[in-house]
Chains A and B, each alone.
Chain A
Amino acid sequence: MTIETLLSKDFAALTRRFEGDAFVARTLERIRRTERSRLFAVGAAGAAGGAVAASQFGALASALQGALPSMASLAVLDSAVSVDFGAAPLLATTLLFALVGGATALVAPGSR
């Protein structure tokens, strides 16, 4: 019997012995446990980040309002139409947060 045959026969016998034992269940359980821990950590970090961002929303909106006083109201077409920019700082802040959130989602690792 050649060395190659000896090795492949031994390997085949060993492989057969491993079919259907508890290894697969153990390994899959470990993968799922790790995945749950990772999701929990990502969820906790996301919630904390969201809370911090929300606490700054009002302050940022006020800062934008103060920075853009001239845009409070804008006359268009010889005052035929008046566009109210009163909500612009709130809108700008929301868009800014959405932009930051989107950028974070783009660079954050995938599901694993």
Chain B
Amino acid sequence: MELSDIDLVTLAKAARDSAAFDTLVRRHQAPLRAFLIRLTGEPALADDLAQEAFLKAYRALDAFRGGSSFRSWLFAIAMREAQMARRHEAARARAQDGAGGGGDAAAPAEFSIDLQRALAALTQEERMAALLCDAAGFSHAEAASAMAAPLGTVKTLVARAREKLRAAMTEERTTMTAYA
């Protein structure tokens, strides 16, 4: 029988069982990395952030009280890491005064360029909410817990993000048709 996340966390905390935490890493690494890639648009950065999030989760496991699901707690750590990386990147870019760098981040070949552009046009919060709820399959409540935001705010962010994405995709297709 497969153990639940909470069982594994309990084992990892109580018995100092590193195998239990290994299972948690195996279970959540792929969705977390996929989420971070779509959030940041940079696969290498996404992997670094995911690794950092797992490390911080391991160190802070005793602080996890089970008030939310393990994955929303883990994603919350990862999002904080992403926000910090974004701030550092912005500061670095300002220091370099925009010399070089910039440009579109590398996207995996199979990813729709339209969707990539449309996602990039959203605000960070809208992108987080849309990716958590529509891509990663979080409930609104889980996303609210991960984003440390009120439930109503998350619902609004998701609705607004969908609307913007729909509009951006339609516009993109219209432009493509006009050029064809």
Contact = CB atoms under 8 A, between A and B. Distances in A.
A, B in one complex: yes
Interface of A: 3-4, 6-8, 10-11, 13-19, 23-24, 26-28, 30-32, 34-35, 110-112
B104 interface: no
Contacts, number: 86
Interface stretch (B71-79, B88-96, B132-140, B141-149): B132-140
B29 A11 contact: no
16 contacts: A3-B134, A4-B134, A6-B112, A6-B115, A8-B135, A11-B31, A11-B38, A11-B135, A14-B30, A14-B111, A18-B34, A24-B26, A24-B29, A30-B55, A31-B25, A112-B59
Contacts of A14: 30, 33-34, 37-38, 108, 111
Interface string B16-50: 10100110011001110111011000000001001
B96 to A, nearest CB: 29
Contacts of A6: 112, 115, 169
Contacts of A110: 16, 62
A32 B25 contact: no
Contact of A18 (B33, B111, B136): B33
Contact of A111 (B16, B33, B47): B16
Given A30-B51, A112-B58, 7 more contacts: A3-B134, A3-B165, A3-B169, A7-B115, A7-B130, A14-B108, A26-B51
A15 B46 CA distance: 13
A23 B169 contact: no
Nearest to B22: A28
A23 B29 contact: yes
Contacts of B29: 18, 23-24, 27
Contacts of B130: 3, 7
A27 B134 contact: no
Given A6-B115, A8-B135, A8-B137, A31 B58 contact: yes
B14 to A, nearest CB: 10
Nearest to B166: A3
B54 A10 contact: no
B164 to A, nearest CB: 9
B117 interface: no
Contacts of B26: 24
Given A10-B112, A28-B22, A31-B21, A3 B162 contact: yes
